[in-house]
Amino acid sequence: MDNWRLWHKFLEAIKSEIGGANLKTYFIKTLLKSVSGDVVTLNTPSAFIKENLDKKYKALIEATFAKILGKKVRFLRRDGIVYMPVPEGLTPKLE
């Protein structure tokens, strides 16, 4: 599964748990950079988002990716947006 589809699946999985406002605030501009071994790396658009993901959502991020991937994972945050092309016909349903 490519990063875009994996990220979309992750967003769908957490949407009902955290609510639309929190999803938009903390996750809509955050992107999945990579999954390598047991490390999930996310790119965040700001230090504020990075800090809040770590404080408020680290356990949820790790548990959700573990469920999707079928293995225990840990996550890293990075500042800076990475632009990822959206596959044709695939847009996240966030509301």
Which tokens is 56 given? 């408020």
H/E stretch holding 66: helix 58-69
Model confidence band, residue 89 (pLDDT cutoffs 50, 70, 90)? low
The model's pTM is: 0.78
Task: Report pLDDT digits (tens) over 28-61.
Answer: 888 898 888 888 888 888 888 888 998 999 999 9
Residues contacting residue 7 through CB under 8 Å, at least 6 positions apart = 31, 32
Res 16: pLDDT: 92
The C-alpha atoms of residue 16 and residue 9 are separated, in whole angstroms, by 13
pLDDT above 70: residue 9: yes
Local structure of residue 39 (DSSP, 8 states): E
> Which of 42 and 76 is assigned the larger pLDDT?
42
| Helix, strand, or coil (residue 10) | helix
pLDDT above 90: residue 79: no
pLDDT above 70: residue 68: yes
> Which of 9 and 78 is assigned the larger pLDDT?
9
| Helix, strand, or coil (residue 72) | coil
Q: What strands, in cross-sheet order, belong to the sheet with 74-79? A: 31-36, 39-44, 74-79
